[in-house]
Structure 1
Amino acid sequence: MSFGEIFLNEFLGTGMLLLLGCGVVATAILDRSKGLGGGWLLINFGWGLGVFAGVYVAFESGAHINPAVTFGLAANGTTDWSDVPAYILGQMAGAIVGAVLCWLAFKEHFDIEEDPSKKLAVFSTGPQIRTYSWNLVTEIIATFVLVFVVLSFGNSPVDIGPLAVALLVVGIGASLGGPTGYAINPARDLGPRIAHAFLPIRGKGSSDWGYSWVPVAGPLIGGVLGGLLARAVY
């Protein structure tokens, strides 16, 4: 595929992922939402279904919709390193736009929500216990699972396509998401965090840039490790 084709597919797929993913968090935590109090499993399933939709939208480009997956597949030899910039740029642009669309959909709820930490939580992840080194380990492990298992799907006699990836994301969130909110995707965290910084959100508070490197570095390391191990095993 050309640079432009990869960019467009990843832009659309990642945009859909972030619109639905940020949207389920907004549904579950923002004041006067009909889904207020929906809980962690609602958020897990919402993100999983966001992945399901995003993978279908970006299917022609391989549906990475995640820089960690792109780096993992490049390390694995499945994706050419020369194509990586097109993937990353499309993913980042899509993530920002998806987050902006979520804000537009929930504009009035953002306006009446008084807690700035909840507004930020719609856009980006944050640890329950802030210890950067251990937060980084959590993100590395969770993203390693994502990329290694996705690459393992190619060796399975049963092919359920995007549904398998969606269920995997739900499982990672349920099992490993508690410490950090499981970014497992640098674009998923950094793109919306940038949107949070520039959007005119009433009473939004800090964008927590001090933590922002963890959900970027951790998933990239975990993705590469998953890709390398899959290459060695398979």
Structure 2
Amino acid sequence: MGSEFIGELIGTFILVLLGNGIVAGNVLDKTKSNNAGWLTITIGWGIAVTMGAFVSGYMSPAHLNPAVTIAFAVAGSLPWASVLPYIAAQMIGAFLGSVVVWLQYKDHYDITEDQGAILGSFATGPAIYNPVTNMISEIVGTFMLMFGILSFSNYDTFPWAGNLVTGALIIGIGLSLGGTTGYAINPARDLGPRIAHAILPIANKGDSDWKYSWIPVVAPIIGALLAVGIYGLI
């Protein structure tokens, strides 16, 4: 369990460091990548997931996502005793990843006054706040992620092919479905950095939007469980 814990922590750290790093570069003032655009963000997140999985995959299953971990436990592919340690590692990794993003871009955080942009470089938020449709967006996005992961396992390919395909799927989800809520599709990816946003002494930061925070935690778990249930019927 020790190596698996470290694997999930490091993998999620890399996922958030590179993923939120691309967002920070886009939204913070006077970066060289300012306003690079949504395509850049979605590709960056695809690379972030791929690299996190590659680095951690020899130590752990590289779930890097509590919704995926819970879904695999429900499917019987992961012992329930591993669930809480995996989630703890993922949360710690996500928190630390955002701390390093803040350190990397600190000069730019110091001059950025847009509180929404600052929060957006840590956690997700809806383009239009509507708890029902926001829930649906995150459920659908995570359903596609989990169903894709389950489907990829049927192919007899080289061992790390799944990492590449999952990264491509993340890009696809972001481009097709991410415009509504920013496609958290991962409770740790959203909650860990949101906690970092609340704790860190970030200049000009506003509220951490706790009113919305439960949606990117609950909805991805529902979406992943639905994927396991429907996949099991095929």
Question: TM-score by structure 1 length?
Answer: 0.96
2: CA distance between counterparts of 1:161 and 1:185? Answer: 18
1:137-192 residue CA offsets vs partner (Å, 9 max, x unmatched)? 11011101100111100112445231101000000000000110000000000000
Match in the other structure for 1:99: 98
2: CA distance between counterparts of 1:28 and 1:165? Answer: 23
Secondary structure of the structure 2 residue equivalent to 1:210:
helix
Match in the other structure for 1:47: 45
The percent identity for this pair of structures is: 50
Quote the offset at 1:75 in angstroms.
1.7
Match in the other structure for 1:224: 225
Match in the other structure for 1:108: 107
Segments of 4+ in structure 1 off by > 4 A?
none
2: CA distance between counterparts of 1:90 and 1:227? Answer: 23
More moved, 65-74 vs 102-111: 65-74
Secondary structure of the structure 2 residue equivalent to 1:183:
coil
Quote the offset at 1:82 in angstroms.
1.4
> Is the contact between residue 14 and residue 94 of structure 1 (CA under 8 Å) also seen in structure 2?
yes
Amino acid at match of 2:146: V
Gaps of 5+ in 1: none
> Is the contact between residue 120 and residue 196 of structure 1 (CA under 8 Å) also seen in structure 2?
yes
Quote the offset at 1:230 in angstroms.
2.1
Question: TM-score by structure 2 length?
Answer: 0.96
- 2:210 maps to 1:209: yes
1: CA distance between counterparts of 2:13 and 2:190? Answer: 13
Quote the offset at 1:72 in angstroms.
1.4
Amino acid at match of 1:123: F
Match in the other structure for 1:89: 88
Gaps of 5+ in 2: none
The 5-angstrom pairing of residues 64-213 of structure 1 reads 64-159=63-158, 160-213=161-214
Amino acid at match of 1:24: I
1:109-159 residue CA offsets vs partner (Å, 9 max, x unmatched)? 000111111000000000011000110011011101100111100112445
1:178-228 residue CA offsets vs partner (Å, 9 max, x unmatched)? 110000000000000000000000010100000000000000110111122
The 5-angstrom pairing of residues 14-53 of structure 1 reads 14-53=12-51
1: CA distance between counterparts of 2:75 and 2:185? Answer: 18
Quote the offset at 1:78 in angstroms.
1.3
2: CA distance between counterparts of 1:175 and 1:77? Answer: 31
Amino acid at match of 2:138: E
> Is the contact between residue 173 and residue 182 of structure 1 (CA under 8 Å) also seen in structure 2?
yes
- Give the count of matched residue pairs: 231
2: CA distance between counterparts of 1:73 and 1:199? Answer: 33
Quote the offset at 1:87 in angstroms.
0.7
2: CA distance between counterparts of 1:50 and 1:203? Answer: 27
Quote the offset at 1:231 in angstroms.
2.7
Aligned Cα root-mean-square deviation (Å): 1.0
Amino acid at match of 2:207: S
